[in-house]
Amino acid sequence: MWTRRVWLGLRASAGGRRGFPSKADPQGSRRVTAELIEHLERLALVDFGSQEAVARLEKAIAFADRLRAVDTDGVEPMESVLEDRCLYLRSDNVVEGNCAEELLQNSHHVVEEYFVAPPEKHMEITPFCLWTPPSKHR
């Protein structure tokens, strides 16, 4: 009978039940190298800012490493829970827009209808020719 079995289970001591990975530190946490830090900061355009943040990343990686224990042979990745349905396409008609002024209002730095960004670093102006003189060819 359900109630008797599960009631006993619910009252059983916690020791025998493993529904949740233990909070103990897992072994072999990946070391986050200085090179990786720089690489991630550049990609994310967010800096770590402190050693604590690096430690937090290491813990996050160690936590994620637990996925290795799952057998996913032959399992397809799931991108959306709605994968069994068709993504519809609406007709290609303009239904809204013409709100440039509204949108520009939210920016701190605009010039006419442009958002202004500072230049890329290491920007070099190099002259280029569409035409190459014949002497350069063999």
Helix (H, G, I), strand (E, B) or coil at 114: strand
Residue for token digits 């897992």? 26
Indicate the residue among 43 and 125 with the shorter CB distance to other proteins.
Answer: 43
Residue 24: closest CA among 52, 55, 53, 66: 66
Minimal distance in Å, beta carbon 93 to other proteins? 11
Locate 50 and state its tokens: 């402190």
- The residue among 96 and 130 lying less far from other proteins, judged by its C-beta, is 96
Question: By C-beta, is 10 or 130 nearer to other proteins?
Answer: 10
Min CB(131)–other proteins separation in Å:
32
Q: How far apart are the first and last CA of the chain?
A: 91
CA distance 101 to 103: 5
- Asked if 51 and 32 touch (Cβ cutoff 8 Å), the reply is no
CB of 128 to other proteins, least distance (A): 23
Residue 69 DSSP class: G
Tokens representing residue 91 in the block: 């007709």
DSSP state of 84: T
Which residues sit at the interface with other proteins, rule CB under 8 A?
2-3, 5-7, 9-10, 14-15, 17-21, 36, 39-41, 43-49, 53, 56-57, 59-61, 63-64, 66-70, 72, 75-82, 85, 87-88, 90, 99, 102-103, 105-109, 115, 117-121
CB of 101 to other proteins, least distance (A): 9
Closer by beta carbon to other proteins, 88 or else 131: 88
